[in-house]
Structure 1
Amino acid sequence: MKLAEFYGGIELYREEKMVYAKLMTPHRVLSTCRSSAGGMHDDLMYLYNHQSCEPAGCHMNARMCRLAMESPEDYRREVADRHNLPFQKCATLGTAANMNNAAICHERFCDLEVVTICTGGVEGNAGRAGDPASYYEPQDDSAKGQKDRGCNMRPGTINAMIFINRELTPGAMVAAVITATEAKTAALQELEVPSRYSDGLATGTGTDQIAVASELGGNALSYAGKHSKLGELIGRTMHDAVLRALAMQNGLTPASRCSSLAYLERLEIRQQELCQGIGEFLSRDNANLFEQNFSNIVNDPITVAAVAALVHLRDKFLWGVLPESCIHEVLSLYGAQVSAAVSGKTSRSYAYMQILSALKVSLDKDAFLEFVFQAFALGFSEKWSCPECDVCEETGFPG
């Protein structure tokens, strides 16, 4: 099925588990394709993004997925042959994302046009640059075991094909990839996507791929950075396409991320663990009441704001922005904001800070989560009670 045509130079199609672009005019292509079509070429006719497996389950080890990893040339040939495309003229991107969730964004300035088509999934494989890795390609077979472990990569990939109706110099092609990558990371930052390999925010996934195609002819553009209109259009289309693709594939939207869990999940905490952890500092009745109203409490915008501040302040300490000598005061102060948001009693903020300051405060993940549990419990224990009469007896917090 033909999806669209742009600037008289490309046609976009979707067939079965593939979205592909037919280059109607000569284009310069720079891609991460792992076959011989990867790198920079001026003679390609097709770019395609192919779903090689399902995003969850043992199907991740299906034949096509393994072929994509172990024999990229054979993978390219087989996919192209299935769709009657000349494999020698194709560059390939592979993913587990559903092609029906592909997002297309188009922007123009004067006679300049940029089109980005993106698929994405981040639930299993989102990562932060510099996270611990396992895949290694040895120079010989002496470390083959290290390489084989790469076959266990988790599903989740952001793939993008970017089309520009002007010729770019080779250097500008590379700059376009940099700009697009920054735009992708900006979108993930806005959604608070957590790394699945550390407790940091994700900057991408472990298997992201990209192809940039610029139409040949005329004066070549030499700059695609953020100060150029070309860079602006690349950044906007990539950013918006990533957001739309993740909304369709994973249900990730700005509204869906208005949740305390969105900020805490990168500390490897899920709803059940969060509910249980808070419940340990509440009476049985209040713990049951909290569990029954969990979503309303943790998704309250004021509470989300307080939790977001607390988690990001932990980041500031870990990054060395804030001095370690201030950890106790800062976390107690902002933990009190969580308690006040949960209870709705902002006038009690100072009292909450005094109570929390008597607790153990640490940047260690488990200790930090316990502190968060206690801040929630302190606030909820007062939400429906007289604080002077009940809070200390209810929770066991120091008076």
Structure 2
Amino acid sequence: MLVEKPYDGLEIHREDKMIYAKFTAAHWVLSTCRAAGGLRHDLKYVYNHQSCEPSGHYHKHAARLWHDPGAYRQHICNAYGLPAEACATMGTAANMHHAAFAQEGFRGLLVAVVCTGGVEANAGRAGDPASVFETPDGFEKLPPAEDVPRPGTINTMIFINHPLIPGAMVQAIMTATEAKTAALQELAVNSRYSDGPATGTGTDQIVLAAKQTDAKPLTGAGKHVKLGELIGRTVLAAVKEALANQNRLTPAGQCSAKIHLERFGINRSGMIAAICRHLSPDQATLLRHNFTGIERDPLTVAAVAAIAHLKDKFAWGILPAACWNEVMANYAAQIACAVCGDFNKLGDFRQTLAPAKTDINNKAFVDLVCRAIALGFSHKWVHFCDSI
């Protein structure tokens, strides 16, 4: 079914588990596709196909996509009646009905984007430990790697109604990648492989197609030129919408102290247990019953997000380790004040929470945050209860 026709020469279709672009006019295509990837002048179609479900569905077609992309392309094209030799292929676990469409224009120049995305299991940060090493015989697993990459991929197709020189096409890919990372930054997505913020997933793919016309090719697609702005705006919007559709990942949904701490090695149950260790039995029971409301309170989230950001500044060397104790005491006290609602206690809480030694590791950091939440919660109702 034809779902979009952004400009003359391009049609976007959705059929079953596939979204494909059909070029009715010549396009140059630059892509990361393992089948028909690189810079191509001879493609008639580019497509994005759902090869499996996002969880627990490692069937032969998903394995074929990873191990034999040429055979996978042939199989999919046969099923959909497309000419394999004229197709560039992307595969994903994302549902095609969750795809996001965005477009922006300026003085006749138009950029259209189609994106699918999922990041719950496979979000990573550039430089995270690798899972495989490519050899002449294939991909060798590096311990403790799994048999296949975890599900989770952001696939982006970008279409431009104007020719670009090859260098500008590469620059457009770079700009789009920055926009994708900006979307993850705005959504506070954590790496699943390290304690850093995510910059993408380990299996992201991208296709850029520029229509060939008699117009003079554009030479730039960076942030200073209008084309770069259009690419950045459309990709940012499409990535965020696709993740909202697929993962229900929204800015409001990320208002969570637990989410901001996960990358440092703690989950919901671990966080509750760590807080309750510093509470009386009655207080612990009350916290367990009300944990979601407490850890999603905007002032508490703000304080936890701030201290997590400062933890990064120490890890990246922006702040010196010699200042750790003072900084952590100040911002842990902010957390406690946010939880109890009384910022007059800031000085007292600062003294109580000051680390006894400089310990920058993740476990000590998470323990401090949980202790701060417990301290604030233990004081939340004291004055009220004493006054009635």
Task: Give the TM bin, normalised by the shorter chain.
Answer: over 0.9
- Secondary structure (helix, strand or coil) at the match of 2:155 reads strand
Instruction: Out of 331-340 and 358-367, give the one that drifted further.
Output: 358-367
| 1:228/1:145 CA distance change after superposition, 3 Å | closer
- Could you tell me which residue of structure 1 aligns to residue 273 of structure 2? 276
1:329 equivalent in structure 2: 326
CA 1:260 to 1:78, structure 2 compared with 1: closer, same or farther past 3 Å?
Answer: same
Query: 1:188 & 1:203 partners in 2: Cα distance?
Result: 7
Residue equivalent to 1:54: 53
Structure 2 residue ranges without an equivalent (≥5): none
Amino acid across the alignment from 2:62: C
Opposite residue 5 of structure 2, the aligned amino acid is: E
Written as runs of structure 1 = structure 2, the 5 A alignment for 1:35-74 is: 35=35, 37-57=36-56, 59=57, 61-74=58-71
CA distance in 2, matches of 1:15, 1:227: 38
Q: CA deviation at 1:231?
A: 0.4
How does 1:1-399 map onto structure 2 within 5 Å? 1-35=1-35, 37-57=36-56, 59=57, 61-140=58-137, 144=140, 151-217=147-213, 218-357=215-354, 359=356, 362-386=359-383
| Deviation string, structure 1 residues 224-261 (Cα, Å, up to 9, x no partner) | 00101000000000000000000000001010011111
Q: May I ask how many residue pairs the two structures share in their alignment? A: 384
Q: RMSD across aligned C-alpha pairs, in angstroms?
A: 1.6
Superimposed CA distance per residue, residues 249-289 of structure 1 (whole angstroms, 9 cap, x where no aligned partner): 00010100111112111123221111111001000100010
Cα distance in 1 for residues equivalent to 2:148 and 2:278 = 39
| Counterpart Cα distance in 2 of 1:208 and 1:109 | 28
Change (3 A) 1:149 1:345: closer
- Letter of the 1:51 counterpart: Q
Q: Distance in 2 between matches of 1:91 and 1:277?
A: 50
Asked if the contact 2:132–2:140 (Cα under 8 Å) also holds between the matched residues in 1, the reply is no
Other structure's SS at 1:207 match: coil
Distance 2:360 2:91 in 1: 39
3-state secondary structure, aligned to 1:12: strand
Deviation at 1:62, TM superposition (A): 0.7
Whole-angstrom distance in 2 between the partners of 1:188 and 1:355: 36
Quick one: structure 1 residues 157 and 144, their matched pair in 2 at CA, closer, same or farther if it must change by over 3 Å? closer
Classify the secondary structure of the residue corresponding to 1:152. coil
Uncovered stretches (5+) of structure 1, i.e. residues with no partner: 390-399
Change (3 A) 1:79 1:24: same
Quickly say closer, same or farther: Cα 1:63–1:281, change in 2 above 3 A. Answer: same
Distance 1:115 1:358, change over 3 A: closer
- Aligned equivalents of 2:145, 2:330: Cα separation in 1: 45
AA in 1 matched with 2:14 = R
Q: Is the 8 A contact 2:131 2:141 kept in 1?
A: no
Secondary structure of 2:112 counterpart: strand
Q: Is the 8 A contact 2:141 2:147 kept in 1?
A: no
- Is contact 2:325–2:355 with CA below 8 Å preserved after alignment? no
CA apart distance, 1:9: 1.6
Length-normalised TM-score, structure 1: 0.94
Alpha-carbon distance between aligned partners in 1 of 2:262 and 2:6, rounded to the nearest angstrom: 40
Residue 144 and residue 245 in structure 1: after superposition, are their counterparts in 2 closer, same or farther (change >3 A)?
Answer: closer
Q: Deviations over 1:305-361 (max 9, x none)?
A: 000011110100010001111000000000000000001010000100011115455
Distance 1:267 1:358, change over 3 A: closer
**CA–CA distance in 2 between the matches of 1:153 and 1:322?**
35
Tell me, in whole angstroms, the C-alpha distance in 1 between the residues paired with 2:320 and 2:143: 41
Query: SS at the partner of 2:378?
Result: helix
